[in-house]
Each structure stands twice: as structure tokens, then as C-alpha cells.
A and B are shown apart, each in its own frame.
Chain A
Amino acid sequence: KAGVTQTPRYLIKTRGQQVTLSCSPISGHRSVSWYQQTPGQGLQFLFEYFSETQRNKGNFPGRFSGRQFSNSRSEMNVSTLELGDSALYLCASSLGLRSGNTIYFGEGSWLTVV
């Protein structure tokens, strides 16, 4: 069974541009969540989607947005990129929203903003 797949794995963008990252969850998983990982801030929760609806949102500015499609695949978008957005963006999937539903992570998308 394939794991969580994220694309692209690496990308470089310039300040002011926007970026879209993609995530395909494990087959059968309906919940997708996104995290930002930086050396200074650690792992921070961005948002979680279930059945195409955003169910939880972390403390990030409105430049960070996401969506989930009917096949549970998800995308996140960052507009007007800033240098501080350079990070590893991790996508995770689980069967549902209950705390007992184990979360599995993808390999991440490394974003560098120059």
C-alpha cells in the first residue's frame, strides 16, 4: 500500500511568488493535515481537511491556504512568499479526525525562498 506522496520534493522560489504543494494520502484515508517544519519553530500545524472541508487551522497568516478534493488529495498554497517561508512542508494523512486515528507522514516538500 503506497504511503503519503508529496510533490514536488524540492523547489526554489523568489520572494513575492506563490507556490502550490500537492499531497496524495494513503488510500482510504480521508483526513489530510499539513505542517511546517523549520529549525527555529519546529513542527507547526497549518491546517487539517476532512471530506473537502477545513476542520482545524493553525496560527498562520491568510497567505497560507489549502483545499481538499473529492478523492481526498490535497493542495496547499502560499502566496506572496517571504524568506521566512523557507521550510519543510509535511503532509500527513489519517483515516479520520478522531485522536485514535494514527497520522502517517509523507517525505515532505522542501521549499527555499530566495
Chain B
Amino acid sequence: GEDVEQSLFLSVREGDSSVINCTYTDSSSTYLYWYKQEPGAGLQLLTYIFSNMDMKQDQRLTVLLNKKDKHLSLRIADTQTGDSAIYFCAERGNSDMRFGAGTRLTVKP
């Protein structure tokens, strides 16, 4: 199976919170990332967290890391229609960066 796993779809109503979950397997990963991809575009770095942290907040974004369970989540507060995109979780250990399959977030008005 994949090294990084994410659920494929998430649908929320505008104004609600979105929580996108991710699990990874490489215990040597020291940095974990969240990227956003809008249609026809490349990947935009949203935020990242160092493995010795368990939480990082950046405006509407909150990243939670449970290193014991190798579980990472991205919470988007007050989700807007402009947040509709594919969100990728990624880990980087000692070599290449490994991505999940991406979670397609749909925000309904």
C-alpha cells in the first residue's frame, strides 16, 4: 500500500470546519506538509509541521500531529468556497518526498 494515506473525498458546508486526515508510515520523517492544488494548477504549500511539535496554527489552519499513531490532520476553520481543492499530505524523510493520493474538498454554499 501507499506510504501516506488519505481519504479521497470530503464535503462540507460553507462556514463549517473541515478536517482532513492523513496517516504515514515512515518514522524517520521529520517534516510533514500540507499542499493545496486547485484545478489546472501546481501544488501550493499551505503549512508544515516539524515532528517534535504536536500542533501548529496559522490563521484558519490548524495542523495536529500524533507521532505515536503517525496521524496528521489539517483543520480549516470557517471553510469558504475558495477552499475547494485537492489537499495533499506529504512526508519527507531522508530521501524523496512521499505524497498521499489527495483529499478532494468540496465546499457547498
Tell me the A residues contacting B by CB distance below 8 Å: 4, 6, 33, 35, 42-43, 45, 48, 56, 58, 90, 92, 99-100, 102-108
Count of chain B residues with Cβ under 8 Å from any Cβ of A?
24
User: Are the C-beta atoms of B99 and A42 separated by less than 8 Å?
Assistant: yes
The CA-CA distance from A102 to B101 in the complex, in Å, is 20
Partner of B93, one of A42, A48, A99, A108: A99
User: Are the C-beta atoms of A99 and B42 separated by less than 8 Å?
Assistant: no
- Chain B interface mostly helix, strand, loop or mixed? strand
Which residues, 79 to 109 on B, are CB-close (under 8 Å) to A?
88, 92-102
User: Are the C-beta atoms of B41 and A107 separated by less than 8 Å?
Assistant: yes
User: Are the C-beta atoms of B96 and A90 separated by less than 8 Å?
Assistant: no
- Chain A interface mostly helix, strand, loop or mixed? strand
User: Are the C-beta atoms of A102 and B33 separated by less than 8 Å?
Assistant: yes
The CA-CA distance from A99 to B96 in the complex, in Å, is 9
Q: Does B10 contact A (CB under 8 A)?
A: no
Complex A-B, nearest 7 residue pairs according to Cβ-Cβ distance, in ascending order: A105-B43, A43-B99, A105-B42, A45-B96, A99-B92, A107-B42, A99-B30
Partner of A45, one of B48, B93, B97: B97
Q: Does B45 contact A (CB under 8 A)?
A: yes
Chain B residue, CB-CB nearest to A6: B42
Partner of A33, one of B42, B48, B50, B97: B97
Contacts of B45 in A (CB 8 A): 102-105
Chain A residue, CB-CB nearest to B48: A102
Contacts of A45 in B (CB 8 A): 96-98
How far does the Cβ of A69 sit from chain B's closest Cβ, in whole Å? 21
How far does the Cβ of B79 sit from chain A's closest Cβ, in whole Å? 23
Which residues, 19 to 73 on B, are CB-close (under 8 Å) to A?
29-31, 33, 35, 41-45, 48, 50
How far does the Cβ of B63 sit from chain A's closest Cβ, in whole Å? 14
12 A-B Cβ contacts within 8 A? A33-B97, A43-B88, A43-B99, A45-B96, A90-B43, A99-B31, A99-B94, A100-B31, A102-B31, A102-B48, A103-B45, A105-B43
